[in-house]
């Protein structure tokens, strides 16, 4: 594995140390170690079945790891699951909304589930921040795919989490919505939020992520910046860099 040069020098908001996950005899994650800084967007990419969603689900406290240690803001996941959950906003791959309810009703229901009292004014402001201000009283079933994705992100932010875990949040949506979501994530990181972002989109890796990690068959093949990836692979085009990191024959060289 190629490591970023900054990995030994900074305090991390998220520390993942040798985390494994087994389903029966199958290993979905094998001793994965990753560290993420405050305000950073870490991209997570890899082929289907590489273990990306499993890793995010462990960080979101929804899946129990079979081994290893996760430390979030200095707290061990094993010991402080509830506290850690309150710091995490999780945007799942599937839209987690009630179709027959309005935007307002969805936001109110999600805010109830967070256990934090949130006023309608605050929910409206959040709605506005994802460009859904005109949709407050609209049923979710009448929203476009991109609008639903934006609302899916907004509900994950209701309890003001410090960390946002996003599982392909822009899949299948138009370019403009993608760009708006990208700009919004950049704004959140400028405010100090830390993001792990699963994507298969090279443009998102380049435009949004400070560093990226490549997972393959449950193991980290690379973590670092695109510049470090270019050096490690000795490739000049970004497409060739990613291809080489994902290609098994080439990985044996690391
Ligand atoms: N609940 C489960 N029970 C059994 N096996 C599972 C379960 N969840 C995931 N797996 C297996 O773990 C492996 C990793 O799956 P995961 O969904 O984490 O991959 P992924 O990288 O997110 O894939 P994709 O890009 O297709 O979303 C796969 O082989 C999958 O079949």
Whether residue 71 is found in the same domain as residue 167: yes
Do 39 and 117 share a structural domain? no
Q: What is the mean pLDDT of residues 83-88?
A: 92
Give domain status of residue 186, yes or no. Answer: no
Domain match, 58 and 147 both: no
For the stretch 202-216, pLDDT in tens is 889 989 999 999 999
Whether the Cβ atoms of residue 242 and residue 250 lie closer than 8 Å to each other: no
Whether the per-residue pLDDT at 227 is higher than 50: the answer is yes
Both 109 and 230 in one domain: the answer is no
Mean pLDDT within 52-79: 95
Residue 236 has a pLDDT of 84
Same domain, 169 and 72: yes
Asked if the interface predicted TM-score (ipTM) of this complex is over 0.90, the answer is yes
User: What is the per-residue pLDDT across 123-176, written as a single tens digit (0 to 9) for each?
Assistant: 999 999 898 989 999 999 999 988 999 999 999 999 999 999 999 998 888 888
Helix or strand (DSSP H, E) at 216: strand 211-216
Domain membership of residue 172 (yes or no) is: yes
CA 28 to centroid of ligand 1, rounded, Å: 7
Q: Ligand 1, atom 24: nearest CA belongs to which residue?
A: 48
Residue 128 belongs to a domain: yes
Give the pLDDT band of residue 194 (cuts 50, 70, 90): very high
pLDDT at 9 over 70: no
> Is the domain of 18 the same as that of 107?
no
From the CB of residue 19, how many other CB atoms can be counted at a distance below 10 Å? Answer: 24
Same domain, 149 and 217: no
**Residue range(s) defining the domain that contains residue 254:** 1-87+162-177+191-254
Q: State the pLDDT confidence band at 246, using cuts at 50, 70 and 90.
A: confident
CB atoms within 10 A of CB 11: 10
Co-location of 153 and 166 in the same domain:
no
141-144 contacts, C-beta under 8 A, 24 or more apart: 141/99, 141/100, 143/103, 144/177
- CATH number, domain of 62, equals 3.40.50.300
Count of domains for the chain = 2
69, 143: one domain? no
Same domain, yes or no: 79 and 142: no
**Most informative mutation of 22, 49, 220 for ligand 1 (most atoms within 8 A of CB):** 49
Do 77 and 170 sit in the same domain of this protein? yes
Mutate to test the pocket of ligand 1, among 29, 32, 44, 52 (most ligand atoms within 8 A of CB): 52
Q: What is the pLDDT of residue 180?
A: 87
């Amino acid at each position: 594995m190629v490591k970023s040069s900054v990995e030994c020098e900074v305090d991390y908001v998220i520390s993942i140390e040798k985390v494994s996950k087994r389903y029966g005899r199958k290993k979905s994650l094998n001793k994965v170690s990753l560290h993420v800084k405050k305000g950073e967007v870490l991209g997570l990419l890899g082929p289907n079945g590489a273990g990306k969603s499993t890793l995010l689900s462990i960080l979101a406290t929804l899946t129990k790891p079979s081994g290893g240690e996760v430390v979030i803001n200095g707290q061990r996941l094993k010991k402080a699951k509830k506290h850690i959950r309150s710091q995490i906003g999780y945007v799942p791959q599937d839209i987690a909304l009630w179709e027959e309810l309005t935007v307002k009703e969805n936001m109110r229901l999600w805010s109830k589930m967070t256990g934090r009292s949130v006023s309608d004014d605050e929910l409206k402001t959040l709605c506005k921040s994802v460009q859904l201000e005109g949709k407050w009283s609209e049923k979710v079933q009448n929203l476009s795919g991109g609008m639903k994705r934006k609302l899916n992100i907004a509900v994950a932010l209701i309890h003001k989490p410090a960390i946002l875990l996003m599982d392909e949040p822009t899949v299948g949506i138009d370019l403009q919505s993608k760009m708006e979501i990208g700009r919004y994530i950049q704004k959140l990181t400028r405010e100090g939020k830390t993001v792990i972002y699963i994507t298969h989109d090279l443009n998102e890796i380049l435009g949004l992520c400070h560093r990226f990690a490549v997972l393959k068959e449950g193991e980290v093949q690379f973590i670092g910046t695109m510049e470090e990836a270019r050096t490690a692979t000795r490739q000049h085009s970004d497409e060739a860099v990613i291809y080489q990191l994902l290609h098994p024959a080439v990985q044996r060289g690391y």
